[in-house]
Amino acid sequence: MSINQENNYKTQDLALSAFLNLNFPILYLEKIDSSKFQFVFEDTVNLRNSIDSYYNNTGTVNPKYYFNSIKNLKSRFYSGR
């Protein structure tokens, strides 16, 4: 995960991205190499709080929405968008 000068948060973590994408839009996918992408989010205080809740195991989500978010991100990844 990283922050760049454009004030964006980037991560390759699919599970984290699926969790974040339930409340925050993905700005774009950034291709790293032929088989790797980064998910790019706008870096905000609310996003950082959600990241903390994910890693602290305090975030809660609807399991069905989370599963669907993972499926949608995988689809986006494999379509190269």
Averaged confidence pLDDT in the chain: 90
- For residues 57 and 11, what is the distance between their CA atoms, to the nearest angstrom? 18
pTM: 0.86
Residue 6, pLDDT score: 74
Q: Tell me: the pLDDT tens digits for 16-56?
A: 999 999 999 999 999 888 878 899 999 999 999 999 999 99
Q: Is 4 exposed, middle or buried (0-12, 13-18, 19+ CB in 10 A)?
A: exposed
Residue 19, pLDDT score: 97
Structural tokens at position 69: 């978010």
Quick one: what percent of the chain has pLDDT higher than 70? 91
Choose between 1 and 7: higher pLDDT: 7
